[in-house]
Amino acid sequence: MTDPTTTAPTTAQLDWLLNELVERLPGAREAVLLSSDGLLLSASSHTGQERAERISAIASGFSSLARGAARQLAANEVRQTVVEMDNAFLFVIAAGNGACLSLVSDAEADVGLVAYEINRLVRQVGPHLSALPRNRRPAAPGFSGGENG
C-alpha cells in the first residue's frame, strides 16, 4: 500500500495549480484551497494572506451550511455551492477528504466553464489532498503562532 503522505502535492505545486486555474479561466479572480474547518492551505499567488484567509472562512461557512441543508433535505452529498452576487460568483467544492477548493470570479465569467474546470481539477488532484498537513501557508508577519494567537 502506498503511503499517502508521499504522494501529497507540495505547497509550491498547489500554488502553481491554483495560479494556473485562475490564469486560464476568463473572469477568474482568485482561488484558495482550505481545510473543511476553514484553515487556509494554499492560495493563488496574487491573493494576499489576509484576503485568502477571509475567503477561506467564507467558503468554509458556505460549505458547512450546504452540508447542513443536505442533511435536512435528505439530499446526500453536496457537490458544489455557487453563490451569485451582483459583481461576482463564489464557487465552493469539496476537494478530497477534509479539503475544499473555492474560486472567486467576475459576474461575467462563464459559470458552466468555471464549474467544469474546478471539478476537473478536483477529480485530478482531490485524492491526493486528504494527506495535506495543516498550516500550509506561512503565518502573517507579527503572528505569534500560539493557540491564543
Structural domain contains residue 100: yes
Average pLDDT (4-26) is: 78
Contact yes or no for 62/81 (Cβ under 8 A)? yes
Tell me the one-letter amino acid at 65.
Answer: L
Percent over 70 (pLDDT), the chain: 78
DSSP per residue, 29-49: EEEEEEETTS-EEEE-TTS-H
Do 84 and 58 contact (CB within 8 A), yes or no?
Answer: no
∠ CA 116-95-87, nearest 5°, is 55
Check residue 143 and give its pLDDT: 37
Tell me how many domains the chain contains. Answer: 1
- pLDDT of 7 reads 55
**What pLDDT score does 98 carry?**
82
In a domain, residue 145? The reply is no
Residue 100 sits in a domain of what CATH number?
Answer: 3.30.450.30
Q: What pLDDT shows up at residue 125?
A: 80
What range does the domain containing 72 cover? 8-129
Asked if residue 71 belongs to a domain, the reply is yes
Distance CA 119, CA 96 (A): 11
Per-residue pLDDT tens for 95-114? 878 889 999 999 999 999 99
| Whether the predicted pLDDT of 39 surpasses 70 | yes
Average of per-residue pLDDT values in the chain: 83
